[in-house]
Chains A and B, each alone.
Chain A
């Protein structure tokens, strides 16, 4: 377990005041993520969890400045990666960050893998794009990477085209490309959602091993709490463009403070649960981000909402290394009421 010093030293990624908005054809701006903060220590795994539309993918993309118009990153946003502010870098400098410092993998390998080139070629080319090495050296390194990501018989598969490989294999190739230059951070956006359960288990195990072997930090974005339970050191839960809870994985999952987290945990069927019991579910739906209600974004669906919740939006209330954006956490301790601390 990584020590939780807040020294700048062990901090690999720090996101401050990240806001991303999109222009819509109606003329109004849609704020997809609203002033969020995240930190990630070197070599640790952070899980970013939320349902569709919560903004987690946008967050992932904006780290490497991959947000294109009509999306726009807010002026006050700061993204510190390995000591440098990515929001202030030129496109050239950014290109030198993507690859050697941070790599990214996606849900659909086809977004990152070119169907026209062999997989080995693509890995080698990634290496050569960032380092001055000969073709032969690049090929050797590519073969090593393919072994690292457990692609069997790399020599033979080097010349395969993506369509000749299965989904799980392509995902491994994408991982190989992303870590080709041994980055310090790997951003994984729903890397296993499109895969079968048994293949998913393989990929997740691979990622965990890579963390141990390479000392690489991983930011994994997913909707599946089970996945983060199995591999993440810390977890951040997103809802409607905001982070509503964060902290160490075990603590958040065993003792969630935010009603949304609590609702999520209760509504997912788990193996061996009581079959006669009704699945508690969160009523209602995610709010329309263009027309947000005043106050807490989750209040309309929250069973514990009270007056203040509908007036003022709660900020992340922090105590040591946990945080929850909920006014309930401010209430004085009453017998039976759990509170941070």
Chain B
């Protein structure tokens, strides 16, 4: 089940934009656009865990959905295993779906309330017409077992399960088709602290056992840097910094990353650390600031930041940053 580790990316995104038109009036004219994803390039290598982190409005969830074509990109190109998938239709899209799966954040609404757990887990097999009913059922039980769910749960309904159990169902459902890439959108954010660690451990175990590549989307940097090999930090639709977890923590170059790291409540460092408190609110994705989107809250903004938009520039060791003054702000 493992593919050889190569440098050919499993998933590639080039200049991906996703804008949502806002329509008003009888004729439904477009009056504004929500620029959820505003020009993103990234590559996910096979067997790596790639983390995508940011706060609300940064577009990480939208990007995740666009990459698997749950949403159609406004423009840009997405390649999966070298094959362009942006313009596929119908049956072709269905074929791709077997290799790219999605774990949703809200397990309460992402499981069909009218289906049993067993049916939900086996749904992928049903859709792709794999196996007989009995075979599907036993495969479902097998996967459920792998994620720590007992067979008795197969006849229950989602409403009868706890949050942790439901999240495991979501994971089982995504794995039943044996995908290569799994995009997990905030898989542990809605869980209690003690259940979070159980599910995180599970995700790590499954990664090894099934040879999975993850795109792990979350707002919690501590969780993301723990589980991901490389991390991209997003702000208002753009990637502002990209680095390995270690580099990001030891040497954050973008002022936003520095503030984010500093804002996280940390049990150990608590009172000793001086916190960077960003001023102001996150701007609306409908009207991002000119030039650098972050400049309105940036502690070191200069005039050039309003005029020229910084591009993601690589600084060696795979560490890229989109800033005119990278590394000059340390909190």
Chain A residues within 8 Å of B, Cβ to Cβ = 51-52, 152, 166, 168-169, 196-202, 204-205, 223-227, 229-230, 253, 263-265, 267-273, 275, 278-283, 285-286
B55 touches which of A152, A198, A265, A278 (Cβ 8 Å):
A198
B265 touches which of A168, A227, A279, A282 (Cβ 8 Å):
A227
Chain B residues with CB under 8 Å of A168's CB are 281
User: Is the C-beta of B277 less than 8 angstroms from some C-beta in chain A?
Assistant: yes
**Contact at B192–A52, with CB atoms within 8 Å?**
yes
**Contact at A201–B194, with CB atoms within 8 Å?**
no
| Besides A227-B265, A268-B193, A270-B267, 14 other A-B contacts (C-beta < 8 A) | A51-B193, A166-B282, A197-B220, A199-B281, A199-B282, A202-B278, A204-B265, A268-B197, A268-B267, A269-B222, A269-B225, A273-B222, A279-B197, A279-B226
**Contact at B245–A197, with CB atoms within 8 Å?**
no
* Pair count A-B, CB < 8 A: 128
Q: How far is the CB of A48 from the nearest CB of chain B, in Å? A: 15
A285 touches which of B195, B268, B270 (Cβ 8 Å):
B195
Q: How far is the CB of A28 from the nearest CB of chain B, in Å? A: 19
Chain B residues within 8 Å of A, Cβ to Cβ = 55-56, 162, 164, 192-198, 200-201, 204, 219-223, 225-227, 245-246, 249, 259-271, 275, 277-278, 280-282
**Contact at B267–A229, with CB atoms within 8 Å?**
yes
B204 touches which of A196, A224, A278 (Cβ 8 Å):
A278
**Contact at A169–B265, with CB atoms within 8 Å?**
no
**Contact at A264–B194, with CB atoms within 8 Å?**
yes
**Contact at B200–A198, with CB atoms within 8 Å?**
no
Quick one: given A169-B281, A198-B278, A230-B271, are A51 and B194 in contact (CB under 8 Å)?
yes
Quick one: given A52-B192, A229-B265, A280-B197, are A285 and B55 in contact (CB under 8 Å)?
no
10 A-B pairs with CB atoms under 8 Å apart are A166-B281, A166-B282, A196-B219, A196-B282, A226-B264, A229-B265, A253-B267, A267-B196, A267-B197, A281-B197
B266 touches which of A229, A263, A281, A282 (Cβ 8 Å):
A229
**Contact at B275–A270, with CB atoms within 8 Å?**
no
Chain A residues with CB under 8 Å of B223's CB are 269
Measured between alpha carbons, how far is A279 from B55 in the docked complex, in Å?
Answer: 24
Measured between alpha carbons, how far is A169 from B268 in the docked complex, in Å?
Answer: 29
Closest to A239 in B: B194
**Contact at B194–A273, with CB atoms within 8 Å?**
no
**Contact at A271–B222, with CB atoms within 8 Å?**
yes
Of all A-B residue pairs in the complex, the 10 with the closest CB atoms, nearest first, are A226-B265, A281-B197, A267-B197, A201-B263, A196-B55, A229-B270, A51-B192, A269-B226, A279-B197, A282-B194
**Contact at A223–B265, with CB atoms within 8 Å?**
no
Chain B CB within 10 Å, residue with most, of A196, A197, A199, A273: A197
Q: How far is the CB of B30 from the nearest CB of chain A, in Å? A: 22
Chain A residues with CB under 8 Å of B194's CB are 51, 263-264, 267, 281-282
Chain B CB within 10 Å, residue with most, of A204, A253, A269: A269
**Contact at A197–B263, with CB atoms within 8 Å?**
yes
Quick one: given A169-B281, A202-B278, A279-B226, are A271 and B193 in contact (CB under 8 Å)?
no
Q: How far is the CB of A51 from the nearest CB of chain B, in Å? A: 4
**Contact at A202–B162, with CB atoms within 8 Å?**
no
**Contact at A198–B193, with CB atoms within 8 Å?**
no
Quick one: given A197-B264, A202-B278, A226-B264, are A271 and B164 in contact (CB under 8 Å)?
no
Closest to B165 in A: A285
Chain B residues with CB under 8 Å of A278's CB are 201, 204
Measured between alpha carbons, how far is A169 from B164 in the docked complex, in Å?
Answer: 32
Measured between alpha carbons, how far is A275 from B244 in the docked complex, in Å?
Answer: 12
Closest to A222 in B: B265
Chain A residues with CB under 8 Å of B55's CB are 196-199
Measured between alpha carbons, how far is A152 from B280 in the docked complex, in Å?
Answer: 9
Q: How far is the CB of B60 from the nearest CB of chain A, in Å? A: 12
**Contact at A285–B263, with CB atoms within 8 Å?**
no
Chain A residues with CB under 8 Å of B270's CB are 226, 229-230, 253
Quick one: given A196-B56, A278-B201, are A271 and B249 in contact (CB under 8 Å)?
yes
Chain B residues with CB under 8 Å of A52's CB are 192
Measured between alpha carbons, how far is A202 from B265 in the docked complex, in Å?
Answer: 12
Measured between alpha carbons, how far is A306 from B194 in the docked complex, in Å?
Answer: 22
**Contact at B192–A281, with CB atoms within 8 Å?**
no
**Contact at B263–A270, with CB atoms within 8 Å?**
no
Quick one: given A196-B55, A275-B245, are A285 and B281 in contact (CB under 8 Å)?
no
Closest to B53 in A: A197
**Contact at B249–A197, with CB atoms within 8 Å?**
no
Closest to B281 in A: A166
Measured between alpha carbons, how far is A169 from B281 in the docked complex, in Å?
Answer: 8
**Contact at A272–B249, with CB atoms within 8 Å?**
yes
**Contact at B277–A285, with CB atoms within 8 Å?**
no
Quick one: given A166-B281, A196-B56, are A223 and B192 in contact (CB under 8 Å)?
yes
Measured between alpha carbons, how far is A247 from B198 in the docked complex, in Å?
Answer: 28
Measured between alpha carbons, how far is A280 from B201 in the docked complex, in Å?
Answer: 9
Measured between alpha carbons, how far is A199 from B219 in the docked complex, in Å?
Answer: 13
Measured between alpha carbons, how far is A275 from B231 in the docked complex, in Å?
Answer: 13
**Contact at B266–A270, with CB atoms within 8 Å?**
yes
Measured between alpha carbons, how far is A52 from B222 in the docked complex, in Å?
Answer: 21
Q: How far is the CB of B111 from the nearest CB of chain A, in Å? A: 18
Closest to B200 in A: A279
Measured between alpha carbons, how far is A300 from B249 in the docked complex, in Å?
Answer: 37
Chain B residues with CB under 8 Å of A285's CB are 162, 164, 195
**Contact at B266–A271, with CB atoms within 8 Å?**
yes
Measured between alpha carbons, how far is A198 from B57 in the docked complex, in Å?
Answer: 13
